[in-house]
Amino acid sequence: MDNENTVKYAIECKGITKTFGSVVANDNIELTVKYGEILALLGENGSGKTTLMNMLSGIYHQDKGTIYIGGEEANINSPVDAMSLGIGMIHQHFKLVEVFSAGDNIILGTEKKKMKPKALKEEIRNISKNLGLEIDPDKKIYNMSVSEKQTVEILKVIYRGAKILILDEPTAVLTPQETEKLFALLRKMKEQGCAIIIITHKLNEVMAISDRVTILRKGKSIDTVNTSETNEKHLTELMVGRPVSLEIERNEVENKEKILKIVDLTVMKGDGTKALDDISFNIKTGEILGVAGVAGSGQKELCETIAGLMPAKQGAILYKKENIIGKSPSEIIKLGISMSFVPEDRLGMGLVASMGMVDNMLLKSYKDKKGFFVDRKPARELAKKLKDKLKVVTPSIDTPVRLMSGGNVQKVLLGREIESNPNLLITAYPVRGLDINSSYTIYDLLNEQKEKGVAVIFIGEDLDVLLELSDRIMVLCHGKITGIVDARKTTKEEIGILMTGGTIGEEEEND
């Protein structure tokens, strides 16, 4: 390796092993990245990607194995060490202080010589200009869009002189156009000689941006392949360990009838701005209506208003021709409207983290029984049934759900909602953070419901999935509907334009 003729790697991991208690998160991992190269790191949930990256960025320390940075053995014990070695990590959830300006966030914690604020701003402007970025150093983070925040994160690590960038699922929250912009930036940085590691679940992005792909499975590095010599199917096989079909079955259901009609609905947010602005749409039985939009475009408010958790200011929600505005959540549940909202932290709404599966089942059904005491028997049976049917991995049905992995928590939540036999199922981000296998279990569940004649509102993030799963796609932008399109005919680009408030030629259907 010390031979001058061999390539000097930016990062070389040799035999990295990390265990948490009895769980082996990383097992003898080998990984290399050169300067001027983009490496994609691919793997299912729990395959050890984040653990590995956390070791590179100094949050954990490996039990065994050596990390070489720029050809030299490195001992990374803290984020400061990682930074001084030129490693910068861009986390999935931004590590920014909301009330600070972009400039303050960028200089935060650095020990560079104190500069006058004016000179500092000039330097930040220069760095961003070199990369073709636009950023106002005085703008407060809370006034920024998601992609602007990401730009600040990237500038932050570049300001610290990072030559090795690690991005953890950077595209999860971006529109297709913003993703393109990010990729252009990454390519530019690659040309300037940076080494980049990108973690993503999306195979098409891996194909588009990376030079090489390293695949992790169950904590082991399975293989490293050149992107130009592989394809999505092959990558999936490597990742899952067996051939999988990437097709989502989408059948057309006969005899649709309108079940929910929303007319001129306006909902206000707590701070007095409009969360939903005069929207109208309808949904039929046996149909999946996908809802696309940048995070915070009114998706949450839409769910909560239909479920009766938020008051509407104007308009009507007609469920089987009856206006349900003003009804209490429990009355709405009785009508057969069921909501499973998976928030970013997965547990916030719907499940109680410290309760086991059984008690979480009870939350929805305890009212059906009369009497003073709680009868756990039916709930216990239901929990057992769900555990078997959805292959929920948990030590026991009484184990607190917070100890279960994200995918299993989501299965429990969705399973419980489906078991109440709803006529309308609202589900928001049900596959958030899930790997391919678990995601497809959830898609199958939703399709099964649709075929049973349930109307499904599916609020999603991944446009590819929305396009494959939904029958129609409704696009929200700043609380307005910018278009309702046929999922079989539209394209990703079209939806991307609608998401940012643009219009397309197609007329939306009139009702």
Partner 1 sequence: MDMFLNIFVAAVLAGTPLLFGTVGEIINEKVGHLNLGVEGMMSIGACAGFMAGYVTDNFIIAIIASFVAAALASLIYAVLTVTFMANQNVTGLTLTIFGIGLSNFIGIYMLGKSETGTLKLPENITAQMRDIHIPMLSDIPIIGKMFFSYNPFVYMGIIIAIAMGFYLYKTRLGLNLRAIGENPAAADAAGIKVTKLKYINLIIGGGICGIGGAYCSMIINGGVWISNNVGGLGWIAVALVIFASWKPVNAIWGSFIFGALRVLKYYIPKTVFPFPNAFYDMLPFLITAIVLVITSIKQSKENNIPESCGINYFREER
Identify the residue among 21, 99, 228, 247 touching partner 1 (CB under 8 A): 99
Residue 100 binds to partner 1 (criterion: CB under 8 A) = yes
Contacts with partner 1 in 438-477 (CB under 8 A)? none
Residue 91 binds to partner 1 (criterion: CB under 8 A) = yes
Stretch that binds partner 1, among 105-113, 278-286, 381-389, 503-511 (CB under 8 A): 105-113
Angstrom distance (rounded) from CA 335 to CA 319: 9
Residue among 33, 35, 37 nearest 210 (CA): 37
User: Kind and range of the H or E element at 279?
Assistant: strand 274-284
Smallest distance from partner 1 to CB 459, Å: 24
Residues paired with 322 in a beta bridge: 319
Smallest distance from partner 1 to CB 94, Å: 8
Residue 353 binds to partner 1 (criterion: CB under 8 A) = no
Burial tier of 139 (Cβ tally within 10 Å: 0-12, 13-18, 19+): middle
Residue 167 binds to partner 1 (criterion: CB under 8 A) = no
The number of residues that bind partner 1 (CB under 8 A) is 26
Q: Judge contact between 171 and 198, C-beta under 8 A.
A: no
Identify the residue among 11, 41, 53, 89 touching partner 1 (CB under 8 A): 89
Residue 343 binds to partner 1 (criterion: CB under 8 A) = no
Stretch that binds partner 1, among 103-111, 120-128, 289-297, 496-504 (CB under 8 A): 103-111
Smallest distance from partner 1 to CB 111, Å: 8
Identify the residue among 4, 22, 114, 252 touching partner 1 (CB under 8 A): 114
Angstrom distance (rounded) from CA 348 to CA 353: 8
Identify the residue among 73, 98, 493, 509 touching partner 1 (CB under 8 A): 98
Identify the residue among 83, 197, 310, 465 touching partner 1 (CB under 8 A): 83
Residue 329 binds to partner 1 (criterion: CB under 8 A) = no
Stretch that binds partner 1, among 109-117, 191-199, 430-438, 471-479 (CB under 8 A): 109-117
Smallest distance from partner 1 to CB 354, Å: 15
Burial 429-459 (b: 16+ CB within 10 A, else e): bbbbbbbbebbbbbbebbbebbeebbbbbbb
3-state DSSP: the chain helix, strand, coil percent, rounded to 5?
Answer: 35, 25, 40
Contacts with partner 1 in 264-293 (CB under 8 A)? 271
Angstrom distance (rounded) from CA 285 to CA 73: 61
Q: Judge contact between 253 and 451, C-beta under 8 A.
A: yes
SS3 402: helix
Identify the residue among 1, 7, 23, 108 touching partner 1 (CB under 8 A): 108
Residue with tokens 């200089």: 107
Q: Judge contact between 56 and 76, C-beta under 8 A.
A: yes
Angstrom distance (rounded) from CA 507 to CA 389: 43
Instruction: Report the residue number, 59 or 363, with the smaller CB distance to partner 1.
Output: 59
User: Two tokens at 220?
Assistant: 């082991």
Instruction: Report the residue number, 115 or 208, with the smaller CB distance to partner 1.
Output: 115
Contact residues for partner 1, defined by CB under 8 A = 59-60, 78-80, 83, 89, 91, 94-100, 104-105, 107-110, 114, 140, 142, 156, 271
